[in-house]
Amino acid sequence: MTAMNASTLRIRDTALRVARAGQGQPLLFLHGPGGLAESQAWLPALAEHYDCHAPEHPGYGGAAVPAWLDNVRDLANFYLDYLDQQKLRGVHLVGYDLGGWIAAELAVRNSHALASLTLISAQGIHVPDVPATDVFLRTDDDLVRDTYHDPALAARVLERAPTEEELDVAVRNKEVTARLTWQPRGHDPDLAKWLHRIAVPTLVVWGANDRILPAEYGRAWRDRIARATLAEMGDCGHAPHLERPAETLAALTRFTASTGSPA
Amino acid sequence: MKFFNFHLMPYRHADLEAIQKNGSAWVTFSNRHYDPQLGAELYHEYLDQMEYADQLGFDGVCLNEHHQTAYGLMPIPGVLAGALARSVKRARIAVLGRALPLLNNPLMVAEEFAMLDNLTRGRFIAGFVRGIGAEYHAMGINPAESQARFAEAHDLIVRAWTQPGPFSYTGKHYQFNYVNPWPRPYQDPHPPIWVPSQGSSSTIRWAAGLRYTYCQTLSPIATVKKFFDMYREEARKAGYEAGRDQLAWSNCIYVAETDERAMAEAKPHLEALMTRLLKMPMEMLLPPGYTNIEAMKRIKSTRAVGAKPQSVEDLVKSGLVIIGSPATVREKLAEYEDLAGFGTTLTKTQFGTMPDGMVRANMQAIAQEIIPHFKDAA
C-alpha cells in the first residue's frame, strides 16, 4: 500500500491540508461530513492507481472555519481555485456524500479541468417522496449503524473509543456540516436545474441498502446527468468505498479507463 | 420584588405515555395528539388565568414562544398578547420570545411589538431570545447561523424603533431598502428589553453591556446566583452597578395550607413538566453550532449526570421550585432573594398538567400570602 503524504498548501488566503500519494492520472477525492479521517482507509488503494489528492475541506479536521465559507457553492469555487493553482488537468473528480455534492457543483460550474466525475452516495439533490434519514436527529453512534449495511462492520467501527481530541473534531465537523447542509436539508434547489452542464462522463456509485440516502437517489443522479452510469453495490449501505472498497475501486478504475486518455 | 405570572400554556391533556414512547413532546410528537376542542378550551382557561393574575395584583403577565410542542401552545405569542392587551388592565405584559433567529423578517417583530406597546399604552415588555435547539429543527433555520442572525435581527429592530425612517439596512442575513415601521413604540425610546437564557456567558455579557434585564430560566438557585453574579460582574466591567430590576428569576411556586399538602398536590404536575414535557434527546436540544463547543460539553455533562429523573423533593431542595405552606414559601423566597439578588420573579403558577381549580387557588394564595410580604419599599 502507498502511504499518504500530508502537506499544507495555501489557496489564496486559506490553509488547506492535502494528503497526497501515487502516480498516474490525477484524482481529486472530496470527503464527506465525517472529515477526511472517515475515508482515510480507502486512500492508499486509490494511490495505487492514481496521483491521488485528498484535501481536508476548510473548517474540517479542527481547522478554523474561513470567513468566506457559508455554503457548498463556496467550496466548489474554492476547489476550482485549487485545480487552477495546482495546474491540474484531466482530473478524475471523486466525491463522497457532501464531497459528491461539492464535486457536482464544481462540475456544473466548470468541467474543463476534469476527465471524469464520480459521485459516491452524494448529497445535493432532493428526490420527492423518498424518505431520507434526518442525520441531525441521530446520535453519532446511530449514524455509524445507519451508514453500514453489515452490522458487524458498524460494531467494529464503534468498538474503537475515540480520543478527547477526536471527539472535539467530530463536534466541529458536525457544526460545519450543519452550516453547509442544514437548510434546505442536504440539497440546493438550484443545483438540479443545471446538472446538464456536467460535460464529462460520470459514474454514480450507490449502496443498494443505503438507509441514509436510499438507492432512488443514485438513480435520480444518473437520470439527471447526461453521460452517467450507475454502479449499484449489493449488500452495501451508505459508504460503498468503505464497505465494498475493492468493488468500488474496481468500478472506478474500469470507468476511468473507459473514459479515454486524459486531456 | 415584582411578581410576574409566567405561563407556558402546556397542552395539559397530553398523553404522557405517548410522549414517553416518542422520547419527547417536541418536534416529532405527532399533532394527532392535539384535540382542537380541548385546545380551544385551554386557550381560554389560560387567558382567563392571566386576567385573574391582573385582578389579583400580580405586577405582570408573561408569555413565551415555542414551536411544534405539547410543552407550550404559544408559537405566536403576539396573538395572545393582543388578546390580553385590552383585558389585562393594569399589569405589564411581557413576551419572552420572540426567537429572533427563526425570523426571516425581523421587521415584523419591530411592528408587532410596537403595536402591542401602543395597545397597552406602554405596559409592554419586549423579550428577545435565540429559541432552544428544538426550534431549529422545527422551523428549518440553520443553528450554525443562530448567533449571527440574533445579533443582526436585534440591531435591526432596535434601530427600527429608535432611528427615524425611512433608512436602508444591508446586513448579511437581512436586507431592506426601506426601514420605516408604523407605528413607532409607545415607550420612549422603546419597550424594556428582557433577555432570557439558560446561562450562556456571551448572552450574559451582552445583556449586561446593554443594560437589558436578564431572565434566568428554570435552574437550581445556586446556578441562578452564579449567573446573576456573572451579570453583576459584567456590569461592573461595563462601568456601572447592576440594579435588581435587571435580574429576573423564572421559577415555579405552589402554595397550599401545609408543606405536605402542597407537595402532594403539586407533585404529579411538576413531574409531568420535568420528566415528560421538558424531555428531549441531546440532538434536538443542542443542534450543531447552536452553542460553542465548551458550552455544549458543559450542558452534555450536566445532562448526563442528571440522566436519572430528579425527584420533586430534589427539585425543591435544589431551589429550582418553591413548594409549601405560605410560611415556607415566604421563607424560601426571601432566602433566595437574599442569596441571588433579583428584582423580579417570573412565576409559573400553572405547570405541567395542573388543572384550573388548583391553579386559581395557588394564584390566590400567592397574591394573599406571599406578594404583600415582598412589596418594594416606596
Tell if the CB–CB gap between A137 and B141 is shorter than 8 Å: no
Interface A-B, measured as beta-carbon pairs within 8 A, has a size of: 45
Tell if the CB–CB gap between A182 and B296 is shorter than 8 Å: no
Inform me whether the pLDDT recorded for A88 exceeds 50: yes
Task: Please tell me which residue of chain B has the smallest CA distance to A62.
Answer: B293
Name the pLDDT band for B364 (thresholds 50, 70, 90): very high
Q: Return the percentage of chain A with pLDDT > 70, whole number.
A: 98
* Per-residue pLDDT tens over the stretch A40-76: 999 999 999 999 999 999 999 999 999 999 999 999 9
Residue A227 pLDDT: 94
Residue B304 pLDDT: 56
Greater confidence (B368 vs B309) lies with: B368
CA distance A178 to A3: 32
ipTM above threshold 0.90 = yes
Inform me whether the pLDDT recorded for B162 exceeds 90: yes
Of A177, A6, A18, A209, the closest CA to residue A101 belongs to: A177
Tell if the CB–CB gap between A182 and B142 is shorter than 8 Å: yes
Contacts 24+ apart (CB under 8 A), A172-175: A172/A59, A172/A60, A172/A62, A172/B293, A173/A33, A173/A34, A173/A35, A173/A60, A173/A61, A174/A33, A174/B288, A175/A65, A175/B144, A175/B288, A175/B289, A175/B293
- Cα-flanking dihedrals φ and ψ of residue A51, to 5°? -80, 95
CA distance A123 to B363: 54
Question: Could you tell me if A183 lies within 8 Å of chain B, comparing CB atoms?
Answer: yes
Residue B308 pLDDT: 60
| CA distance, residue B140 to nearest chain A CA (Å) | 6
Residue A2 pLDDT: 72
Task: Please tell me which residue of chain B has the smallest CA distance to A164.
Answer: B297
Question: Could you tell me if A178 lies within 8 Å of chain B, comparing CB atoms?
Answer: yes
Inform me whether the pLDDT recorded for B301 exceeds 80: no
Question: Could you tell me if A211 lies within 8 Å of chain B, comparing CB atoms?
Answer: no
Question: Could you tell me if B284 lies within 8 Å of chain A, comparing CB atoms?
Answer: yes
* Per-residue pLDDT tens over the stretch B262-296: 999 999 999 999 999 999 999 999 999 998 887 77
* A121 torsion bin: left (phi>0), alpha (psi -120 to 50), beta (else): left
Residue A1 pLDDT: 59
For chain A, the residue count is 263
Report the relative pairing of strands A114-120 and A202-207 from DSSP bridges: parallel
Inform me whether the pLDDT recorded for B198 exceeds 50: yes
3-class DSSP state of B70: coil
List CB contacts (< 8 A) between B296 and chain A. 171
Name the pLDDT band for B302 (thresholds 50, 70, 90): low
Name the pLDDT band for B309 (thresholds 50, 70, 90): low
Of B5, B216, B211, the closest CA to residue B94 belongs to: B5
CA distance A43 to B144: 30
CA distance B316 to B354: 17
What's the whole-number mean pLDDT along residues B112-128?
A: 98
Question: Could you tell me if B201 lies within 8 Å of chain A, comparing CB atoms?
Answer: no
Cβ atoms A22, A52 nearer than 8 A: yes
Task: Please tell me which residue of chain B has the smallest CA distance to A181.
Answer: B142
CA distance B67 to B139: 8
Q: Centre a 10 Å sphere on the Cβ of residue B36 and count the other Cβ atoms it contains.
A: 7
What's the whole-number mean pLDDT along residues B115-133?
A: 97
Name the pLDDT band for B323 (thresholds 50, 70, 90): very high
Residue B310 pLDDT: 79
Q: Which residue of B102, B135, B142, B145 is the best one to mutate when testing the A interface, meaning the one whose CB has the most A CBs within 10 A?
A: B142
Question: Could you tell me if B116 lies within 8 Å of chain A, comparing CB atoms?
Answer: no
Distance of CA A116 to the CA centre of its chain: 14
Tell if the CB–CB gap between B283 and A174 is shorter than 8 Å: no
CA distance B280 to A139: 13
What's the whole-number mean pLDDT along residues B163-191?
A: 98
Question: Could you tell me if B134 lies within 8 Å of chain A, comparing CB atoms?
Answer: no
pTM metric for this prediction: 0.95
**Average pLDDT across chain A, whole number:** 96
Tell if the CB–CB gap between A179 and B137 is shorter than 8 Å: no
What's the whole-number mean pLDDT along residues B214-226?
A: 96
Place of cell 495546482: A86
CA distance B81 to B62: 9
- Cα-flanking dihedrals φ and ψ of residue A150, to 5°? -85, 110
Of A129, A112, A128, the closest CA to residue A199 belongs to: A112
Cβ atoms B60, B2 nearer than 8 A: yes
Task: Please tell me which residue of chain A has the smallest CA distance to B280.
Answer: A137
Tell if the CB–CB gap between B144 and A179 is shorter than 8 Å: yes
Inform me whether the pLDDT recorded for B171 exceeds 80: yes
Task: Please tell me which residue of chain B has the smallest CA distance to A141.
Answer: B283
Name the pLDDT band for A260 (thresholds 50, 70, 90): low
List CB contacts (< 8 A) between A133 and chain B. none
Inform me whether the pLDDT recorded for A261 exceeds 70: no
Greater confidence (A261 vs A58) lies with: A58
